[in-house]
C-alpha cells in the first residue's frame, strides 16, 4: 500500500481505504467561466498520478471532479461578483439561466479537452453545482436546525464560533487574524462564511426558503462529495490555496451537519510559479495549453515538466524549463521507439525501486530517475527495458505505449538520410528529414549517428 502526506495530520501516513480494495477521491474542480491556465491544471495532473498509483496497486477507484457553474464569488470574504456572472458580462451573454448554461457548456468542454490532451484519466463523475440545488438547500436547512446558521440581509451564514476546532486543517487554530475574512457587515466573526447568498438585482438566482439566491461555493462541494462518495470518503485534494478557507469551510459544515469526518485524507499540491509568483488569472500572467501548443511544445512535455517536481513543491514555469523538459521527453520517446517490442518482461529489481518512489507520497522525480537509470543499464535486454518502462508509464501517464515502431519505409528513409549526411548533401538530408516529420518521425542527429523518435499528433517542431 502507498503512503500520502495528510494535510489534516501534518504527517505522511500509510493510506488505508475505508472499504477494502476501493478508494473514493474528490478533487475540487474548475469554475467554468474561463479557460483553465497551466497552474490550474497541475491539480489534475497530481490527482491523476494519485489515481494511477492507487490503480497500479490494485485498488478500484471512484473519482469525482466537480464543475462549479454558480456560487463562486470573487472574494473569499463572500463579496464581489459571482465569477460566472463576470464571465457572462465579459462574453456579452445574457444574465439568465440560459446564458449561464451556454457559458458553462463552453468552458466545461474546454476543461475536459485539456484533461484529454494531458492524458489524464477521465473521472467517473463531473457533477455540476446547479444539478444538486435541492440537496444543497437541504444541507443549509440541516445546519439551521442544528443551530450553526444565522441570517443576514445578504444571505445565510455559518457560525464558526460554534466549533472549537474550526480551522484545524493546516493548523489555522486558534484564530489567526492575518487569515481572517470580513465581507458582509453583521458577521459574528470575520471567518463566518456564506451558505446561501441572496441575489441582488443583477445576479442570477434560484428559489429557496430564504429567497432567490444561490448556494455558497463551499456548500456545493460538501453536498456533491457526500452524494457521490458518501461520508466519510477516502481522499479529498486541491491546491494549497484551498486550505485556509474553502477546505476548512467544507470540513466545518459537513462535520457539523453529520457528526462524522468528511474525508480521511486531505492532500494539496503546490503552485506553478512564473518568476517566483503564483500563476493567476487575476494577475493577468498566465498561459493555457493552447499557448503551449502554439509555441510548438507538446502538452505531454508540460506533464513531464510537472513530474520533475514533487507535488508538494512549487514548479517554476519558464519557456526554457519547458524546452528542457520537451527535449528530455523526446529522448525518452526516442529510446522507447527504437526498442524491440517482442518477448519483453518487467524487470522486478527496477520495479521495486519504482514502487519505493511512487508509493512514497507520489515521488515522481525519483520515479523518473529510476526510468533513466534503467535506460542507462547495459545489462538489461532492450525488450525488457521497453516492457518495464511501459509498465511504469501506467503511473506516469506519458503515453509511451502509443509510440509506434518504425516501418520498413521509415527505416529505408533513415538509411538514405544517413548516406546524404555522410556525403555532406545537406539539402537532401533536410528534405528527407522534412519527409520523415510529415510521417510523424523526428530525428536527433549527433556527430556519428542519427536516431529516430515517433511524434504524436500533439507535438510541434520545437
Q: What does the pLDDT read at residue 337?
A: 81
User: pLDDT tens across 243-264, in order?
Assistant: 999 999 999 999 999 999 999 9
Residue 461 domain-assigned? Answer: no
51 has pLDDT over 70: yes
Residue 280 domain-assigned? Answer: no
> Could you give the dihedral angle defined by the CA atoms of residues 356, 266, 76 and 106, in that order, rounded to the nearest 10 degrees?
70
Please state the rounded mean pLDDT for residues 439-458: 73
How many CB atoms sit inside 10 A of residue 294's CB? 11
Report the CATH number that the domain containing residue 84 is assigned in CATH: 3.40.50.620
Q: Are 297 and 329 in contact (CB under 8 A)?
A: no
Nearest to 264 by CA among 67, 14, 2, 63: 14
Residue 462 domain-assigned? Answer: no
386 has pLDDT over 50: yes
Residues 292 and 205 in one domain: no
46 has pLDDT over 80: yes
Q: What does the pLDDT read at residue 136?
A: 98
Distance CA 195, CA 218 (A): 7
458 has pLDDT over 60: no
Tell me the three cell numbers of residue 357: 518512489
Backbone angles phi, psi at 413, to 5 degrees: -60, -40
Residues 45 and 150 in one domain: yes
pTM of the predicted structure, to 2 decimals: 0.90
Please state which of the ranges 67-71, 253-257, 334-338 shows the lowest mean pLDDT. Answer: 334-338
Residue 282 domain-assigned? Answer: no
Residue 305 domain-assigned? Answer: yes
Please state which of the ranges 209-223, 348-362, 412-426 shows the lowest mean pLDDT. Answer: 412-426
348 has pLDDT over 90: yes
Quote the domain boundaries for residue 39.
3-273
Please state which of the ranges 149-163, 273-287, 308-322, 447-461 shows the lowest mean pLDDT. Answer: 447-461
Residue 278 domain-assigned? Answer: no
Tell me the three cell numbers of residue 389: 518502462
Q: What does the pLDDT read at residue 440?
A: 82
Please state the rounded mean pLDDT for residues 379-404: 93
Report the CATH number that the domain containing residue 324 is assigned in CATH: 1.20.120.640
State the residue for C-alpha cell 445565510.
Answer: 156
Please state which of the ranges 3-7, 315-319, 334-338 shows the lowest mean pLDDT. Answer: 334-338
Distance CA 349, CA 61 (A): 27
Residues 313 and 370 in one domain: yes
Residues 252 and 312 in one domain: no
Considering only the C-alpha atoms of the chain, give the largest distance between any 2 of them, rounded to a whole number of Å: 86
Residues 315 and 370 in one domain: yes
284 has pLDDT over 70: no
Residues 365 and 422 in one domain: no
Number of compact structural domains in the chain: 3
Query: Which residues fall within 8 angstroms of residue 303, CB to CB, at 6 or more apart?
Result: 45, 118, 119, 397, 398
Residues 253 and 359 in one domain: no
Q: What does the pLDDT read at residue 176?
A: 55
Residues 206 and 339 in one domain: no
**Last residue of some domain: 273, 304, 319?**
273
Backbone angles phi, psi at 214, to 5 degrees: -155, 155
Residues 175 and 84 in one domain: yes
Distance CA 156, CA 144 (A): 9
Please state which of the ranges 136-145, 190-199, 240-249, 270-279 shows the lowest mean pLDDT. Answer: 270-279
Residues 349 and 441 in one domain: no
Average pLDDT, the chain: 91
Residue 226 domain-assigned? Answer: yes
- Return the SS3 of 5: strand
First to last CA, the chain: 40
Please state the rounded mean pLDDT for residues 24-43: 96
Residue 460 domain-assigned? Answer: no
Instruction: Band the pLDDT of 117: cuts 50, 70, 90.
Output: very high
What's the half-sphere exposure (Cβ side, CA atoms, 13 Å) at 82?
28
Q: What does the pLDDT read at residue 406?
A: 77
Distance CA 145, CA 148 (A): 8
Residues 244 and 324 in one domain: no
Residues 383 and 413 in one domain: no
Query: Which residues fall within 8 angstroms of residue 435, CB to CB, at 6 or more apart?
Result: 413
Please state which of the ranges 203-207, 272-276, 422-426, 449-453 shows the lowest mean pLDDT. Answer: 449-453
89 has pLDDT over 60: yes
Amino acid at each position: 500500500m502507498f503512503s500520502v502526506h495528510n494535510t489534516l495530520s501534518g504527517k505522511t501516513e500509510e493510506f488505508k481505504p475505508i472499504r477494502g480494495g476501493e478508494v473514493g477521491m474528490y478533487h475540487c474542480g474548475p469554475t467554468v467561466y474561463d479557460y483553465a491556465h497551466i497552474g490550474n491544471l497541475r491539480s489534475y495532473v497530481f490527482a491523476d498520478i494519485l489515481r494511477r498509483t492507487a490503480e497500479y496497486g490494485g485498488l478500484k477507484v471512484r473519482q469525482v471532479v466537480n464543475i462549479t457553474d454558480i456560487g463562486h464569488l470573487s472574494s473569499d470574504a463572500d463579496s464581489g461578483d459571482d465569477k460566472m456572472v463576470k464571465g457572462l458580462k465579459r462574453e456579452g451573454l445574457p444574465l439568465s439561466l440560459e446564458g449561464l448554461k451556454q457559458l458553462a457548456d463552453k468552458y466545461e468542454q474546454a476543461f475536459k479537452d485539456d484533461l484529454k490532451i494531458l492524458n489524464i484519466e477521465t473521472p467517473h463523475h463531473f457533477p455540476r453545482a446547479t444539478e444538486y440545488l435541492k440537496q444543497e438547500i437541504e444541507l443549509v436547512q440541516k445546519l439551521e436546525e442544528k443551530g450553526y446558521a444565522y441570517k443576514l440581509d445578504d444571505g445565510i451564514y455559518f457560525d464558526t464560533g460554534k466549533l472549537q476546532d474550526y480551522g484545524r486543517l493546516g493548523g489555522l487554530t486558534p484564530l489567526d487574524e492575518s487569515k481572517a475574512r470580513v465581507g458582509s457587515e453583521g458577521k459574528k466573526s470575520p471567518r463566518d462564511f456564506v451558505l446561501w447568498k441572496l441575489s441582488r438585482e443583477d445576479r442570477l438566482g434560484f428559489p429557496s426558503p430564504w429567497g432567490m439566491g444561490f448556494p455558497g461555493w463551499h456548500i456545493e462541494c460538501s453536498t456533491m462529495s457526500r452524494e457521490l462518495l458518501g461520508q466519510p470518503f477516502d481522499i479529498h485534494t486541491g491546491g494549497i490555496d484551498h486550505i485556509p478557507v474553502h477546505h476548512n469551510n467544507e470540513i466545518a459544515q459537513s462535520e457539523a451537519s453529520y457528526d462524522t469526518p468528511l474525508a480521511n485524507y486531505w492532500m494539496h499540491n503546490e503552485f506553478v510559479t512564473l518568476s517566483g509568483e503564483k500563476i493567476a488569472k487575476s494577475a493577468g500572467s498566465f498561459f493555457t495549453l493552447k499557448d503551449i501548443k502554439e509555441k510548438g511544445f507538446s502538452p505531454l512535455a508540460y506533464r513531464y515538466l510537472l513530474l520533475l517536481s514533487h507535488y508538494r513543491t512549487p514548479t517554476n514555469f519558464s519557456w526554457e524549463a519547458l524546452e528542457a523538459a520537451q527535449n528530455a521527453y523526446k529522448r525518452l520517446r526516442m529510446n522507447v521507439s527504437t526498442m524491440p517490442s517482442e518477448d519483453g518482461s518487467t524487470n522486478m529489481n527496477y520495479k521495486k525501486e519504482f514502487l519505493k518512489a511512487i508509493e512514497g507520497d507520489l515521488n515522481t522525480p525519483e520515479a523518473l530517475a529510476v526510468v533513466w537509470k534503467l535506460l542507462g543499464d547495459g545489462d538489461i535486454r532492450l525488450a525488457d527495458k521497453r516492457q518495464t518502462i511501459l509498465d511504469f508509464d501506467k503511473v506516469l501517464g506519458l503515453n509511451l505505449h502509443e509510440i509506434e515502431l518504425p516501418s520498413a519505409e521509415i527505416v529505408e528513409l533513415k538509411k538514405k538520410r544517413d548516406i546524404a549526411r555522410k556525403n555532406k548533401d545537406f539539402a537532401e538530408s533536410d528534405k528527407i528529414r522534412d519527409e520523415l516529420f510529415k510521417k510523424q518521425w523526428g530525428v536527433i542527429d549527433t556527430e556519428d549517428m542519427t536516431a529516430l523518435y515517433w511524434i504524436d499528433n500533439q507535438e510541434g517542431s520545437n
